[in-house]
Structure 1
Amino acid sequence: MPHHLMNLRYVPDDEADEIRDLFEANHVRYYETPPSRWGISMGGFWVHDDDEAERARQLLAEYQRARHQTQREAFLEQQARGETGPWALLRRHPLRTLAACLAILVIAGFSLLPFLRLG
């Protein structure tokens, strides 16, 4: 019976590549199903053997702990440099951020317009 090891929905490409490399380096016989375009099927990494599934889950758990730590450190470094938050987004993508804010205001205005006309 197949064992589902990991869901691939919302997994960044670099993480999926690292997991493939991890499985291949440790000779885990896995197969992969891609997520569907419409978000109906989740896709993921699978194995057939029970023992292989347990070994792969242990490898994944160790990898996830290490990745969590490195990603957390990278985030804290970005935060210390001021590269996170709404102001950093405005500095990096000013037109896109202003367009999104304008769209929010227009939608809110159209949504509230009937209530403003009641008075």
Structure 2
Amino acid sequence: MARLLFRLSNVPDAEAEEVRELFEARGFDTYETRAGFWGLGVAAIWLRDESQYEAAREALDAYQQGLRERMRHAHSGLAERGEAPTLWKRLVNHPVRMLLVAVAVGVILVVTLLPFLGLIG
């Protein structure tokens, strides 16, 4: 019976390709499923042979630990150079988008709290 190894939803294409290459290089018998047109399915990489599951999980965990370290190192490098994304930088670089987000948050708050405010008055 097949076992789920790695969900592909919200995964960057580069990371998904690295995971595919990792499984192929290690000789794991995998296949992929897509979420489908309506997104109702599971976009994932599955392992056909359940006896390989522990070795595949160990390989995937080692890859993800290395990726985590690379991302932390890259972010710390950006922070040291003052190039790390911050709320202020996003506001300066995309003022219209940030204004629209603030308006949307305000509308959601008003719509959410309106019934409770009506009870007070």
TM-score category by the smaller chain? 0.7 to 0.9
Q: Is 1:85 aligned to 2:81, yes or no?
A: no
Q: What's the CA shift for 1:84?
A: 2.3
Q: For 2:10, give the aligned amino acid.
A: Y
Give the distance between the partners of 1:52 and 1:36, measured in 2 at CA.
Answer: 27
Asked if structure 2 preserves the Cα contact closer than 8 Å seen for 1:35 and 1:42, the reply is yes
| CA spacing shift, 1:112–1:48, aligned 2, 3 Å | closer
> Residue deviations 1:10-56, cap 9 Å, x none?
22222111101112222222101123454543321112213332322
| TM score, norm. by length of structure 1 | 0.77
Partner SS state of residue 6, structure 2: strand
Give the CA RMSD over aligned residues.
Answer: 2.5
Give the distance between the partners of 1:43 and 1:107, measured in 2 at CA.
Answer: 31
Task: Indicate the residue corresponding to 2:30 in structure 1.
Answer: 30
Q: Is 1:2 aligned to 2:2, yes or no?
A: yes
**Alignment: residue pair count:** 118
Partner SS state of residue 42, structure 2: coil
| CA spacing shift, 1:7–1:111, aligned 2, 3 Å | closer
Task: Indicate the residue corresponding to 1:54 in structure 2.
Answer: 54
Q: For 2:102, give the aligned amino acid.
A: C
> Residue deviations 1:85-108, cap 9 Å, x none?
211211232211111112323443
Unpaired runs of 5+ in structure 2?
none
Give the distance between the partners of 1:113 and 1:53, measured in 2 at CA.
Answer: 52
Task: Indicate the residue corresponding to 1:73 in structure 2.
Answer: 73
Asked if structure 1 preserves the Cα contact closer than 8 Å seen for 2:75 and 2:84, the reply is no
Unpaired runs of 5+ in structure 1?
none
Percent of residue pairs bearing the same amino acid type? 36
Q: For 1:101, give the aligned amino acid.
A: A
